[in-house]
Amino acid sequence: MPLIAPSTLAADFANLQRDVEMINRSAADYIHVDIMDGRFVPNISFGLPVCAAVKRHATKPLDVHLMIVEPDKYLEDFRKAGADIITVHFETCPNLHRTLQRIKELGALASVAINPHTPVAFLSEVLGEVSQVLIMSVNPGFGGQSFIENTYRKVRELVELRADADVNFDIEVDGGVNGQNASLLIDAGVDVLVAGSFVFKSADPLAIINGLKNNSSS
């Protein structure tokens, strides 16, 4: 059974507490919080105060995805704001091993993300340092994009790398996840599904989350 992380990027920002409380009641496992700086990605989303506000109302762990340049400057701040899992991008970390070590020193779970154009093999030297690897299945920056089909191959490659290295971490996919591709992703080896628009644009978000959790199309 997969872990489900609804993405607050697709929530109603004017009713964020309501939407966080809905996730609390749901079958979801995490609350996914996308942080965008307008530099690494062409959009600006939440910052530290909103992350802290989500944490105040959350009863589930915060899965915080830092789509920002120079993430090292903000690791401690996001940990203090409530991040339980901190994901940094391979593409923004010239000293990735040190960054991941710092996340763990702060008491959070360390996670690394790769963009659609980045081969999973580039992560081979740090797979023993992470609790999670996030494969972006859209180009990061905006919600509601179409799923990139090559993601299935990347997931299978990462499953093989994990087995070859004899290490344990969750494989997470973020972008364009819906009732049609969720089961295919799980079959490929995905452990954590991030879903934004599919959840929050639906008439019954609780039912959608439950359907994803139970691997049924909704």
Which tens digit of pLDDT belongs to each residue from 96-105? Answer: 999 999 999 9
Domain 3-213: CATH architecture, name and number where available: Alpha-Beta Barrel (3.20)
Q: Tell me how far apart the alpha carbons of residues 182 and 184 are, in angstroms, rounded to a whole number.
A: 5
Q: Any catalytic annotation for residue 63?
A: no
- Cα separations (Å) of 37 from 47, 69, 95, 147? 8, 8, 20, 23
Mean pLDDT, range 18-43, rounded to an integer: 96
Residue 218 pLDDT level (bands cut at 50, 70, 90): very low
Q: Which of 19, 29, 37, 174 is catalytic?
A: 174
Tokens read off for 99? 């960054």
Q: Any catalytic annotation for residue 204?
A: no
Which tens digit of pLDDT belongs to each residue from 190-212? Answer: 999 999 999 999 999 999 999 99
Mean pLDDT, range 109-116, rounded to an integer: 98
Q: Tell me how far apart the alpha carbons of residues 84 and 124 are, in angstroms, rounded to a whole number.
A: 24
State residue 126's pLDDT score. Answer: 97
Q: Which of 34, 37, 63, 191 is catalytic?
A: 34
Mean pLDDT, range 53-73, rounded to an integer: 97
Would you say 7 and 34 are in contact if contact means Cβ atoms under 8 Å apart? yes
Average confidence score pLDDT of the chain = 95
